[in-house]
Amino acid sequence: MAANAKGRIRKAVEMILGGDLHDLPPPAPQIGSNRRLVIVSNRVNTPAQMKSNPGGLAVAMGAALHHRDALWFGSSGELVDAPADAPRISQEGNLVRALIDLPREDYNRYYAGFANGALWPLFHYRVGVVDFSHENYQAYLRINEEFARHLVPLLQPEDIIWIHDYQLIPLASCLRARGVTQRIGFFLHIPFPAPEVLTTLPVHGALMRAFADYDLIGFQSASDQTAFTDYMLRERDDATASNGWIEAYGRRFQVGTFPIGIDTAVVAGRARRAAGTARTRELKDSLSGRKLVIGVDRLDYTKGLVGRFKAVERMFEEHAELRRGVVVLQIAPPTRGDVAEYRRVRSELNGLIGHINGRFGEPDLLPVRYLNRQYSQDILFGYFRLSAACLVTPLRDGMNLVVKEYIACQDPDDPGIPILSRFAGAGQQLDAALIVNPFDTAEMATALHRALTMPLAERRERHKSMIDVLRGYDIHRWRDLFLTELICVDDQAELPLAEPPRAAAALAEAGT
Ligand code: G6P
């Protein structure tokens, strides 16, 4: 999924708002069905993008939402020189999209400057890559203000508002300042850093204050939630935390862990169909019986691609017998080219992959096929099903849905095996994968060899365990738990402080 430059958030929102209606499960009327859901994200998918790309959240929340009104608000991607006019509104069934054009200079400082030049590396523990400036931070605040200015006139009193990801942390504060009193939830799709890391950001105090204007803040993993709570307790004398409730800054709000999933059944069905397509057959034929190892990542320095290919080199070095028996296919669409570190990692990877092919290639065989291009999910799902192993080795990742899609795409009778970083949120859920430390080249090389030589019975057993997790905790469940919790927050005045959050309790029961 991450390979698709549409981005995880847009996919998630598509899922919330209803993708391919044929694949929808029965509606879930208990999730605030009489209230409109307002989703806000930096990017918004067009109807055409939703059709070509229905994965992620779209189908899940669509189950509830195509029976009621929904508004999806975000940036149009168009940049203008002056402040924007009113949002461009379009309607498709019950879903209204409202898109705003944003002022060019502020947008660049907000997107490439603060969101992706400072917050992204910081939240992924790459303090040395952070490029902070107060000017960029001010532009980040102004763009959030711009979102609020255009969103407020569209809001209705009973709306439930759900804001997504690090680009929009201050949005609740901007909305509250304009008199918005509706419940507002926030989901952080990326990791949350430990307080020692976060406090290196000069504006950490203001950023954290902004979180207090939400009613519910959702994290991908328990360690993210713990890091957030630790910050409050260490840095704020007025803070108390108990059973997922935090009191600080004179506000009381809830935090919870909601690991995002995929639409497991739909992905599996699409992979079965994709297995027979001409695209999949062409790739299969080109392998001439060799095993395929696949990696699909945005070309981002957090994805650990350089370390991954050092491990690939080491495996070919140690196992000469595999040099003519294995092809590694890495799909890595370039992303955020305006940020220097992305250009640097791209150039380093070009050199390393050229070196591996130069060292182990033959006139009739290149061991690594490297493509800086995007592929649709239906093509990728066929490739996943064909692959004996998948390399998912980020240095840090909120969840990583590529690994979940890879697992769902496998043939249960002859499944491939993922090699998965312990620093991806998915690594905390899927312990039957081959879990590796992405900073340990030798360990990754050994795991790759192990995946390629694993007996069928062990592969089946591991796959069964992983697919059971993905079926039990899919995207529908993620959406339902978050929204149930957000709507329950309505009752917070009546809830004693000691009562555990209801959705969080359900999550604990499910053992996730
Ligand atoms: C990650 C982030 C998303 C972002 C996506 C694509 O998944 O969590 O918020 O949308 O990457 O990145 P882009 O900068 O192209 O939106």
Q: Is the CB of 1 under 6 A from ligand 1?
A: no
User: What phi and psi, each to the nearest 5 degrees, are found at residue 290?
Assistant: -75, 155
Task: Tell me the two tokens of residue 173.
Answer: 């504060």
Check if 440 is active-site.
Answer: no
How far does the chain reach from its first CA to its final CA, in angstroms?
Answer: 22
Counting ligand 1 atoms within 8 A of each CB, the residue from 1, 4, 6, 8 with the most, and so the one to mutate, is 8
In this structure, are residues 438 and 427 in contact, taking their beta carbons and an 8 Å threshold?
A: no
Transcribe 271-299 into DSSP letters. Answer: HHHHTTSHHHHHHHHHHTT-EEEEEE--S
pLDDT value at residue 206 = 98
Q: Rounded to the nearest whole angstrom, what is the distance from the C-alpha of residue 2 to the centroid of ligand 1?
A: 9
499: region left, alpha or beta (phi > 0 left; psi from -120 to 50 alpha):
beta
Whether the pLDDT of residue 55 is over 90: the answer is: no
Of the candidate ranges 177-181, 279-283, 306-310, 475-479, the one whose mean pLDDT is the lowest:
475-479
More confident residue, 157 or 17: 157
Sheet holding 434-436, edge to edge: 368-371, 326-331, 291-296, 389-392, 417-421, 434-436
Whether the pLDDT of residue 57 is over 90: the answer is: no
**Identified catalytic residue from 397, 449, 463, 476:** 397
Alpha-carbon distance of 400 to 425, in angstroms, equals 7
- On the 0-12 / 13-18 / 19+ scale of CB atoms within 10 A, 199 is middle
In this structure, are residues 153 and 136 in contact, taking their beta carbons and an 8 Å threshold?
A: no
Helix (H, G, I), strand (E, B) or coil at 329: strand
Q: Which residue in this structure is represented by tokens 């069964």?
A: 464
Whether the pLDDT of residue 50 is over 50: the answer is: yes
Q: Is the CB of 190 under 6 A from ligand 1?
A: yes
| Domain 34-261+474-510 indexed as CATH 3.40.50.2000 | yes
Alpha-carbon distance of 150 to 336, in angstroms, equals 26
Alpha-carbon distance of 63 to 19, in angstroms, equals 9
pLDDT value at residue 33 = 60
Q: Rounded to the nearest whole angstrom, what is the distance from the C-alpha of residue 125 to the centroid of ligand 1?
A: 17
pLDDT value at residue 32 = 59
Q: State pLDDT tens for residues 217-272.
A: 999 999 999 999 999 999 999 999 999 999 999 999 999 999 999 989 999 999 99
Q: Is the CB of 165 under 6 A from ligand 1?
A: yes
Give the percent of the chain with pLDDT over 70: 84
Q: Rounded to the nearest whole angstrom, what is the distance from the C-alpha of residue 369 to the centroid of ligand 1?
A: 25
Alpha-carbon distance of 249 to 8, in angstroms, equals 32
Q: Do 264-472 and 34-261+474-510 fall under one CATH topology?
A: yes
Q: State pLDDT tens for residues 364-385.
A: 999 999 999 999 989 999 999 9
Q: Can you give the residue ranges of every domain in the chain?
A: 34-261+474-510, 264-472
Q: Rounded to the nearest whole angstrom, what is the distance from the C-alpha of residue 198 to the centroid of ligand 1?
A: 20
Query: How wide is the angle at C-alpha 401 spanned by C-alphas 272 and 11, nearest 5°?
Result: 85
Determine the atom of ligand 1 nearest the C-alpha atom of 111.
14
pLDDT value at residue 34 = 73
Sheet holding 245-248, edge to edge: 88-92, 95-103, 70-80, 37-43, 160-164, 184-187, 216-219, 251-257, 245-248, 240-242
User: What phi and psi, each to the nearest 5 degrees, are found at residue 245?
Assistant: -105, 135
Q: Rounded to the nearest whole angstrom, what is the distance from the C-alpha of residue 197 to the centroid of ligand 1?
A: 21
Render the burial of 310-344: b for 16+ CB within 10 Å, e for the rest. bbbbbbbeebeebbeebbbbbbbbebbeebebbee
pTM here is 0.90
Q: Is the CB of 8 under 6 A from ligand 1?
A: yes
Q: Which amino acid is at 255?
A: V
422: region left, alpha or beta (phi > 0 left; psi from -120 to 50 alpha):
alpha
pLDDT value at residue 15 = 53
Q: What is the mean pLDDT of residues 117-135?
A: 98
Which has the closest alpha carbon to 268: 441, 446, 405, 65?
Answer: 405
Give the percent of the chain with pLDDT over 90: 77
DSSP state of 87: P
Nearest residue (CA) to ligand 1, atom 10: 7
Alpha-carbon distance of 159 to 405, in angstroms, equals 32
CB atoms within 10 A of CB 254: 23
CA distances from 322 to 113, 314, 328 (A): 44, 12, 11
Q: For the domain 264-472, what is the CATH superfamily, name and number? A: Glycogen Phosphorylase B; (3.40.50.2000)
Helices 340-360 and 305-318: angle between axes, nearest 10 degrees: 10
Check if 189 is active-site.
Answer: yes
